[in-house]
């Protein structure tokens, strides 16, 4: 089946999923902060970040290989299910190694620090760390085949599960001891339903000869793109991790309120990526460079036209909404953080659907170079700005790293794409 073009209904599905994620995230933050306090929200956010970043390490870039090779095979008329089976087999192995390393390393570190909370927290998220990479690979396969309704449902499901389970804990457990366990339970639910939906295409007992070539292709492509895939998620969590280390859990809690809304706006810009990724691969494989340029230019133009007024309106409404949901104190403390973060989104919004474009055209090494440059900039700026400026310094560092990303992308992509992105 050839890869089709992006249709209007695809955007409706993906933006509907995004809206659901935003609402679920809002409920999650409100429930945790109201019931257990801002510091508890900060600790929960830190451990969720560990699962996302650690799980990305466990994926070893294989989901990116699935996302590239699947539409390529579909365009060339080849079967795609061996790519899924081989991808899951490879991810199972890499996830087992990465999860073991993270758990052992974390055990050593937190025992030496006598930090009982994070020792227990690490054990609670262990299953989530292991399952997250395989869930990510299955989602990449669904996305690559442009099964937009199914992908949209699963895209939204993770935060719906997290919010629903947090609400159950809030209603049944005053201590919050079981809150962190909901992260692993969410990934278990995701794995169950994803496997159920793909059961006809997941065939681990295939002839090894049928899986050997895609297995090796996934590992080769994945290792080249591993750094980039990891840094893409790490770049969105560096601020939270360094705030927790330098400024403490309460600062992370305050920052989490502003970043919840800012990240929602950021993700609104990246959501079209799920529609564009398979199309970008097809046009590049078919050497339709002019058509690819037209697709990218039209998307950038629409996003800037829509995005800038939305960001302005968001800054007007932010203090009102946060005051109602979280109270006057958090609204006041987080408003400047939100404003700074939205300035970075305004500068980069037109490029957000194409954050992985180099990987989608078969250059995972260049994608890693791009995101290593961006994450390195973000890390240096956070280390420099958090000590003197606290949460505002973290926000400013993140904003400047988004601007740097646009500059780096334009520089690296031009000779590959044969046009200025």
Average pLDDT, whole number, for the chain?
87
Q: What is the pLDDT of residues 269-318, one digit of tens each?
A: 887 887 888 889 888 988 899 999 999 999 999 999 999 999 999 999 99
Region 35-59 average pLDDT: 84
Q: What is the pLDDT of residues 191-236, one digit of tens each?
A: 999 999 998 888 765 567 778 889 999 999 888 877 776 777 677 7
Please report the DSSP string for 28-93 in residue order: HHHHHHHHH-HHHHHHHHHHHHHHHHHHHHHHTTHHHHHHHHHHHHHHTT---HHHHHHHHHHHHH
In the predicted structure, residue 134 carries a pLDDT above the cut 80: yes
Q: What is the pLDDT of residues 321-379, one digit of tens each?
A: 999 888 888 888 899 999 999 999 999 999 999 988 998 898 988 988 898 899 899 99
pLDDT value at residue 248: 73
pLDDT value at residue 72: 87
Region 112-131 average pLDDT: 83
pLDDT value at residue 315: 95
pLDDT value at residue 54: 86
Q: What is the pLDDT of residues 159-182, one digit of tens each?
A: 999 999 999 998 887 777 788 899
Among 94, 126, 125, which Cα is nearest to 219's?
Answer: 94
Q: What is the DSSP letter of 110?
A: H
Q: How far apart are CA 255 and CA 240, in angstroms?
A: 8
What are the angstrom distances between the C-alpha of 343 and each of 149, 307, 348, 374, 392?
A: 32, 11, 9, 17, 13
pLDDT value at residue 108: 84
pLDDT value at residue 207: 67
Most confident of 13-17, 257-261, 409-413: 409-413
What are the angstrom distances between the C-alpha of 21 and each of 55, 268, 331, 410?
A: 19, 10, 22, 30
Rounded to the nearest 10 degrees, the angle between the axes of helix 148-172 and helix 8-36 is 10
Q: How far apart are CA 111 and CA 108, in angstroms?
A: 5
pLDDT class of 84 with cuts at 50, 70, 90? very high
Ramachandran sector of residue 291 (left: φ over 0; alpha: ψ -120 to 50; beta: rest): alpha
Rounded to the nearest 10 degrees, the angle between the axes of helix 364-389 and helix 391-417 is 160
In the predicted structure, residue 43 carries a pLDDT above the cut 90: no
In the predicted structure, residue 7 carries a pLDDT above the cut 70: no
Each domain of the chain, given as residue ranges in start order, spans: 1-226, 235-421
Q: How far apart are CA 377 and CA 400, in angstroms?
A: 8
In the predicted structure, residue 68 carries a pLDDT above the cut 70: yes
Beta-carbon neighbour count of residue 185 at 10 Å? 17
**Which residue matches tokens 């409404």?**
317
Are 300 and 413 contacting, i.e. CB atoms less than 8 angstroms apart?
A: no
Please report the DSSP string for 287-333 in residue order: T-HHHHHHHHHHHHHHHHHHHHHHHHHHHHHHHHHHHHHH-HHHHHH
Among 98, 200, 99, which Cα is nearest to 141's?
Answer: 200
Greater confidence (42 vs 382) lies with 382
Whole-model pTM: value is 0.74
Span of 47-61, 81-95, 133-147, 240-254 with lowest mean pLDDT: 240-254
């Amino acid at each position: 089946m050839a890869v089709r073009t992006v249709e209007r209904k695809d955007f409706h599905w993906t933006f509907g999923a995004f809206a659901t994620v935003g609402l679920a995230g809002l409920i999650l933050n409100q429930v945790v902060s109201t019931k257990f306090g801002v510091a508890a929200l900060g600790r929960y956010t830190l451990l969720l970040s560990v699962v996302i970043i650690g799980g990305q390490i466990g994926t070893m870039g294989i989901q990116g290989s699935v996302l590239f090779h699947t539409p390529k095979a579909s365009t060339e008329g080849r079967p795609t299910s061996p790519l899924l089976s081989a991808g899951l087999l490879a991810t199972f192995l890499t996830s087992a190694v990465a999860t073991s390393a993270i758990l052992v390393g974390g055990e050593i570190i937190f025992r030496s620090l006598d930090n009982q909370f994070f020792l227990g927290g690490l054990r609670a998220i262990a299953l989530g760390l292991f399952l997250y990479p395989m869930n990510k690979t299955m989602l990449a396969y669904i996305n690559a085949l442009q099964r937009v309704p199914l992908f949209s449902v699963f895209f939204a499901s993770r935060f719906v599960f997290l919010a629903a389970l947090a609400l159950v804990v809030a209603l049944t457990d005053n201590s919050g001891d079981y809150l962190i366990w909901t992260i692993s339970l969410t990934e278990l639910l995701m794995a169950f339903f994803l496997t159920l939906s793909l059961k006809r295409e997941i065939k681990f007992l295939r002839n090894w000869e049928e899986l050997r070539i895609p297995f090796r292709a996934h590992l080769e492509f994945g290792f080249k793109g591993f750094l980039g895939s990891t840094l893409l998620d790490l770049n969105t969590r560096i601020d939270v991790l360094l705030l927790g280390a330098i400024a403490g859990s309460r600062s992370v809690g305050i920052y989490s309120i502003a970043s919840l809304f800012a990240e929602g706006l950021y993700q609104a810009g990246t959501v079209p990526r799920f529609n564009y990724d398979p199309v970008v691969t097809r046009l590049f494989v078919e050497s339709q460079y002019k058509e690819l340029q037209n697709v990218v230019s039209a998307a950038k133009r629409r996003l800037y036209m829509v995005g800038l007024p939305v960001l302005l309106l968001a800054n007007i409404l932010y203090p009102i909404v946060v005051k109602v949901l979280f109270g006057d104190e958090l609204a006041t403390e987080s408003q400047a953080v939100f404003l700074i973060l939205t300035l970075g989104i305004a500068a980069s919004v037109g490029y957000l659907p194409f954050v992985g474009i180099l990987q989608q055209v078969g250059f995972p090494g260049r994608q890693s170079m791009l995101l290593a440059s961006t994450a390195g900039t973000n890390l240096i700026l956070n280390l420099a700005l958090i000590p003197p400026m606290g949460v505002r310094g973290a926000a400013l560092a993140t904003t400047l790293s988004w601007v740097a990303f646009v500059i780096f992308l334009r520089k690296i992509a031009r000779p590959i794409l044969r046009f200025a992105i």
